[in-house]
Amino acid sequence: MKDYSLYIGGEDTAGTGHVHAVHTSLMLDDVLTAVSMKRRLDKGGELQPDDKVLSRCAMAGPDQLRAAAEAAHSAKPAWAAVPLERRLELIGRFHRELDRRIDEFTALLIAEGHPRRFADIEAMSILDSTGPEAVDFYRRQLVQEIETPQRRLAMVRKPDGVVGLTPPQNAATTNSAVGVPVLAAGNTLVLRAPQGCPTGTHFLYRELVAPLLDELGAPPGTLNIVTAPTALTLRHWIDSPLVDDIFYFGDSTRGIAIGQECVAAGTKPILELAGNDGLVVWRDADLTHAARALTESFIGSGQVCLVPKFGIVHPAVADELLERLRAEVERIRPSRPEDETAWLSPVMKSDNYFEFLREAVESGAQVLTGGHRCDLDGDPDEAGSFIAPTVLRVDGLEHADGVRAVREETFFPMLPVVVPEDPGDDEKLFSSVLDFLGANRYGLRNSLWARDPHIIDRFCSELSVGGLLKVNDSHIGTVAPLPAHGGTGLSGGPFGESNLPVVSTTHLQGISVANGDDPRESAYGLRQRPATRPA
């Protein structure tokens, strides 16, 4: 069992109590026993020899949250003054240390309930986004210099200061890794590890990042780690004059409201919210690869923001594509998260699943596969922890526009595939597809499978919705150094865009260093203005 204190001002600190995490496999074997054990331990009960506990993490109350913000505020001038190249070393050292301990890290993700295939993707995405190419890219975003005969000019991004980071419970550990470039940009950090799955986040920062900051000579308070309720933490950060940015992951309704509160309080909100990504398959696409890309919708049983949430397929290839997709999906079976083929996760929001399914079917959608709960063996079971991956066929863009399973974010294994009516004119059809994507209220990612350069160019040039556009590629895969986060609309709020943390938690400053010429000549130029003639 891992045992983590709070980490405040460079010291391990006691909290107000503890929260315990249990291995997901125990939840699958005997959920009542697992929940009962967790509740007993969280209330202060004694740990028994046969208790299967993943971690014990100290809980923070108002006093500890205040101390963490004060420590980060005290450290920010000294850390910001450390030369950029020294701070960027943090990312490279973190990359090497994580690579060295990657098996241990992946095992923790699996223990927290991430299917092995998803855990492997997550681990590799962090390594890709912290590698040498990514660091070089970050450097270019932070400093640009121009030499002229009279001056040395620079556009420099300066750190905002104290950043409060609260990752989402469904993928806390992986998303918390955005804090590493936030620190490298010169900010200090207060990191909230979610109560429901704190283990991996504590591991990543207490066992990897904190020692590396010590090696680099970072002042105490540069990094602070707390576990606390979301509402309590956010209330403190919004009300505190010491917190400059709040980096929030969560649902759109709550996130937009938090953004409004932040702006009213003079705090910068950085919002990572819900997604409803579209994947388009054109008539000339590689249908085998396109079908496999669509199956990424079911990674973690669809309980991941960055997977395809709906597809649109050209009517000329719809039947063939859907048959290939159905065959791929029916091979995806429930399993324990540690199994080599693990793909699915237990589903929490089953009521929403059946509500959306009923509405879609009543509106005319066809269920091609799935549509029921199942047990760990994949057999239908009304009390099962899993939901069979479900593919729907929805005919017509106009029809699809009124189907909630298409137009709203879903957080369960349901993939509606829209087949537009064929107008007999591909230019007109693709315009309709782009209009449909452009009307999406969400905007994390959109992707396209096509060979026609003209179609690809139109997709890339005309579609402005989304933080990331991908063509003929994995929808969920990382493509460092491009950002893996960020989006438009309800995915990022009114200021939403592709989110590079070294940019979003810094602000742009222009700098001009002149040779010391006469300021009047500098201001007015070498030529004198012509005398003003009387009218």
Q: Which amino acid is at 162?
A: V
b/e 234-259 (16+ beta carbons within 10 angstroms → b): bebbbebebbbbbbbbbebeebbebb
Beta bridge partners of 277: 308
Q: Cis peptide leading into 481, omega within 30 of 0? A: yes
272 catalytic residue (yes or no): yes
Residues 127/477, Cβ–Cβ less than 8 Å: no
Per-residue confidence (pLDDT) for residue 47, from 0 to 100: 84
Per-residue confidence (pLDDT) for residue 528, from 0 to 100: 47
Residues 486/443, Cβ–Cβ less than 8 Å: no
Q: Measured between alpha carbons, how far is 81 from 389 in angstroms, rounded to an integer?
A: 52
Residues 147/90, Cβ–Cβ less than 8 Å: no
Any idea what DSSP says for residue 12? E
Q: Measured between alpha carbons, how far is 333 from 340 in angstroms, rounded to an integer?
A: 12
Q: Measured between alpha carbons, how far is 262 from 160 in angstroms, rounded to an integer?
A: 14
Among the listed residues 117, 174, 120, the one whose alpha carbon sits nearest the alpha carbon of residue 343: 117
Q: Measured between alpha carbons, how far is 383 from 242 in angstroms, rounded to an integer?
A: 48
* H runs (alpha helix) in 278-403: 287-295, 318-330, 350-362, 397-400
Per-residue confidence (pLDDT) for residue 525, from 0 to 100: 61
Residues 173/494, Cβ–Cβ less than 8 Å: no
Residues 335/292, Cβ–Cβ less than 8 Å: no
C-beta neighbour count of 446 within 10 angstroms: 27
Among the listed residues 467, 418, 479, the one whose alpha carbon sits nearest the alpha carbon of residue 442: 467
Residues 400/419, Cβ–Cβ less than 8 Å: no
* H runs (alpha helix) in 463-505: 501-504
- What does the block give as tokens for 534? 């009387």
Per-residue confidence (pLDDT) for residue 521, from 0 to 100: 75
- What does the block give as tokens for 202? 């504590």
Per-residue pLDDT of the chain (535 residues), as tens digits, is 899 999 999 999 999 999 999 988 888 888 888 899 999 999 999 888 877 899 999 999 999 999 999 999 999 999 999 999 999 999 999 999 999 999 999 999 999 999 999 999 999 999 999 999 999 999 999 999 998 888 999 999 999 999 999 999 999 999 999 999 999 999 999 999 999 999 999 999 999 999 999 999 999 999 999 999 999 999 999 999 999 999 999 999 999 999 999 999 999 999 999 999 999 999 999 999 999 999 999 999 999 999 999 999 999 999 999 999 999 999 999 999 999 999 999 997 788 999 999 999 999 999 999 999 999 999 999 999 999 999 999 999 999 999 999 999 999 999 999 999 999 999 999 999 999 999 999 999 999 999 999 999 999 999 999 999 999 999 999 999 999 999 999 999 999 999 999 999 999 999 999 988 888 777 766 444 444 444 4
Residues 294/417, Cβ–Cβ less than 8 Å: yes
- What does the block give as tokens for 516? 């010391």
Q: How far is CA 191 from the centre of its chain?
A: 15
Instruction: Write phi, then psi, for 129 (nearest 5 degrees).
Output: -85, 0
Q: Measured between alpha carbons, how far is 90 from 215 in angstroms, rounded to an integer?
A: 9
Q: Measured between alpha carbons, how far is 179 from 223 in angstroms, rounded to an integer?
A: 10
Provide the terminal-to-terminal Cα distance of the chain, rounded to the nearest Å: 89
Q: DSSP per residue over 56-125, as a string? A: EEEEP-HHHHHHHHHHHHHHHHHHHHS-HHHHHHHHHHHHHHHHHTHHHHHHHHHHTT--HHHHHHHHHH
Which residue is catalytic, options 122, 305, 328, 409? 305
Q: Which amino acid is at 446?
A: N
Per-residue confidence (pLDDT) for residue 529, from 0 to 100: 47
- What does the block give as tokens for 362? 């009543």
Q: Measured between alpha carbons, how far is 269 from 214 in angstroms, rounded to an integer?
A: 29
Per-residue confidence (pLDDT) for residue 112, from 0 to 100: 94
The 3 state secondary structure assigned to 399-440 is: HHCCCHHHHCCCCCCEEEEEECCCCCCHHHHHHHHHHHHHCC
pTM above 0.85, yes or no: yes
CA distances in angstroms from 67 to 93, 161, 300, listed in the order given: 28, 16, 37
85 catalytic residue (yes or no): no
Beta bridge partners of 18: 58
The domains found in the chain, sorted by start residue, are 2-12+61-273+498-509 (3.40.605.10), 277-482 (3.40.309.10)
Per-residue confidence (pLDDT) for residue 523, from 0 to 100: 72
Per-residue confidence (pLDDT) for residue 535, from 0 to 100: 45
Distant-in-sequence, close-in-space partners of 517: CB < 8 Å, separation ≥ 6: 150
Beta bridge partners of 367: 392
- What does the block give as tokens for 176? 């918390």
Q: How far is CA 231 from the centre of its chain?
A: 20
Among the listed residues 72, 17, 61, 69, the one whose alpha carbon sits nearest the alpha carbon of residue 39: 17
| Length of the chain counted residue by residue | 535
Which residue is catalytic, options 112, 122, 272, 328? 272
